[in-house]
Structure 1
Amino acid sequence: MEHSGENSGGAATPSPGRLDWVDVARGIGIIAVVVGHVWTRGPVRHAMYSFHMPLFFLLSGMLSRPQPIIPFARRQLFSQMRPYFLFLALVIAADQIIEPLKGNRPIFRDWPQDIGPLLLGGSWLAGPFIIFWFVPCLMVARILFNALSCRWPDPLTRRWGLAMLPILLVAYASGHITRLSPLGLLTVPMAFVLLWVGAAWHRVGWRGWMMIPFLSLSVAGLSGLLPSLNMRTADYGWPLASMGAAIATSFLIFKLSVTIAPHAAPLAAIGRGSLTIMYLHVPLIHYLSPYMDKLPLLALALSAPFALDRLIRLSQRATRWLL
């Protein structure tokens, strides 16, 4: 996402008026996402899954501003789904080449029958495709949130609080009812709530007394005292508690990002490449994990998509289409 919240990648270099701490926070978040996919079990995985996806929804909510409903929705559809389908096609093409070289059959091999699952996305995409739920989910949640924000611009009003109660109930109930999630839409209710929390937090801001309760909740989530989250499958751990820990950790990361932003240029650069890293790190981990130790794999899963992101940005046309 840019400073305006329109995109998920950001510019290769900071634009005038850009909030550097946002890029730093996004950099920390995307590193946590990659770490959580390299370490697939154990305390490291649990710690990353306790907060990493909520951080991005909260950040998007903090950056949101009410915009004209139809132009905003149209802009979101074109700017988000165009890179979605292009990166999806890239990973499909790679899978058609790599799996036969390994002596396996490609994941999608029955054409044209497989077009249906590919278009459904979300829970129909596994293996190197599992991260593709995130962008459509965020896009739909942002379109809906913007529509309501245009009607109720102040997220701190009572009507917002009353509206969140049924949405929160739907978010928790839906994950118990089904795991089917076309385009990640099963997660939209919780994403909507997190967007609102982020927008409300932007109005409230940090208070000194918050440090102790936030640290306590964060430690409970990071240490495994509370169940972690899997937002892709609408598994939100213990109701309110696990998500509260994720929110606390994210807000602490935001505070840290503000503090270290002047000295954290590498993290900010990673944050500006987060869209490309988001789409491509899982395929790299999927294909290379049998052959590499975890630390080198982590380094490659971050550095290779980041390098590609920088190459894409050398071309205005490629940037427009892919980012």
Structure 2
Amino acid sequence: MSDRVKWIDAAKGIGIILVVMSHAPIHDSIKNFLFAFHMPMFFYLSGIVYKTSSLPTSTFILKKARGLLLPYFIFSFITYIVWFFVTRHFPFTSGDQVDPIVPFSGIFISTPVDYQLTYNPAIWFLTCLFVVEVLFYLYQRLSKGRWLPILLIGCGFIGYLSSIIISSNVLPWSILVALTAIVFYGLGYATKHLWKSYSWRSVLIVGAALYAITFIAQGLNTERIDMRGNIYGEIWYFYIGATAGLIATILLAHKLARFHYLVYLGQYSIVILLLHFPALNLMKASVYYGLNMEMAETTTLPWTLFYTVSTLLLMVPCIIFLKKYPFLLGKKKPKKSQRTVKPA
């Protein structure tokens, strides 16, 4: 079980690094490639760790609300305050053009429409995952685990149809996006027993081929994938690219699970998800004001890596602080009598 957890955490670690990288100044081709699979992979990994629950519906919903909605609202208010007083005034953001009431209302609606999440764009994932987990739990309770392919095909079709007809993520808490996200979540749940480690040779060959498929599929797609906005382009290119990319990353994660810092990042990926956007804006400000450089001048790979690494380093003290106050993340503090597993 410990090996399984390590590779899942390693996959989350890789994923959250790619999330931070994709939000930094970056070349469009790399950004498009990363957007094609990194969020589908997080929903897939969430499905892997889902366990069939016998809890009453109200108890299950309260449990998920504590773990997902409580940190969502706490850090929405915190990052909104940072945005209001600091980051919205940076000239490389659109903050001064936004009525502060709009993103404040976005805290409760949690959709990216009309700058509602401009204070912290990545935080949408928590409300969407809450919707996905509740829907999947209700499916399990009502069907006893049967007809999963029908559920996934149906949700995938309706979710994709919504992206064509409505063409925006307009419903509260990303309900439309949840229809597509549940496809990857359900696949993760259904295929978790299939994963195992392969040789480095196999991983490198197969992984490179799969990443190439993702890159080609995204290149053929007419849209840049953006799950947050419910934008997928052509359905076949979207699902092929997303599936190939997440498989390649998970194969790689099995081999990289021995790297303790990567596992550490995966264990606390929620902290990075919640706080990396304000931190990234601070790093941009240091370059803009300190070196007098426009953001468009820093989209080369070395600069992208600089933003990514420096932002992740800023996350370490945040992680250390939140480990002392886990209730802010909706978690209980371990009892002193219990042995805790420290990240190596």
Q: Report the TM range for the smaller structure's normalisation.
A: 0.7 to 0.9
Which consecutive unaligned segments of at least 5 residues does structure 2 have? 288-297, 334-344
Pairing of 1:1-323 with structure 2 (within 5 A): 19-67=5-53, 68=55, 69-99=57-87, 102=90, 105=96, 107=98, 109-110=100-101, 115-124=104-113, 125-154=116-145, 159-178=147-166, 179=168, 180-205=170-195, 216-222=209-215, 224-227=218-221, 228-261=224-257, 263-289=258-284, 291-292=286-287, 293=298, 294=303, 295-318=305-328, 320=330
**In 1, Cα distance between equivalents of 2:47 and 2:124:** 18
Which secondary structure state, in structure 2, belongs to the residue aligned with residue 229 of structure 1? Answer: coil
Q: 1:98 to 1:144 in 2, by over 3 A?
A: same
1:322 Cα offset (Å)? 10
Percent identity for Structure 1 against Structure 2: 21
1:58 Cα offset (Å)? 0.4
**In 2, Cα distance between equivalents of 1:297 and 1:214:** 26
TM-score normalized with structure 2 length: 0.77
Q: 1:28 to 1:297 in 2, by over 3 A?
A: same
1:120 Cα offset (Å)? 1.0
TM-score normalized with structure 1 length: 0.82
Q: 1:177 to 1:164 in 2, by over 3 A?
A: same
**In 2, Cα distance between equivalents of 1:322 and 1:38:** 33
With 90-99 and 220-229 compared, the bigger mean Cα shift is at 220-229
1:7 aligns with: none
Report if the CA contact (8 A) 2:43-2:129 is conserved: yes
Q: 1:89 to 1:247 in 2, by over 3 A?
A: same
Report if the CA contact (8 A) 2:7-2:254 is conserved: yes
Q: Deviations over 1:206-254 (max 9, x none)?
A: 699x988876443121354343421011112321332222122212222
**In 2, Cα distance between equivalents of 1:217 and 1:257:** 14
Report if the CA contact (8 A) 2:43-2:181 is conserved: yes
**In 2, Cα distance between equivalents of 1:46 and 1:322:** 38
Q: 1:55 to 1:102 in 2, by over 3 A?
A: closer
Letter in 2 for 1:137: C
Report if the CA contact (8 A) 2:36-2:242 is conserved: yes
Which consecutive unaligned segments of at least 5 residues does structure 1 have? 4-15
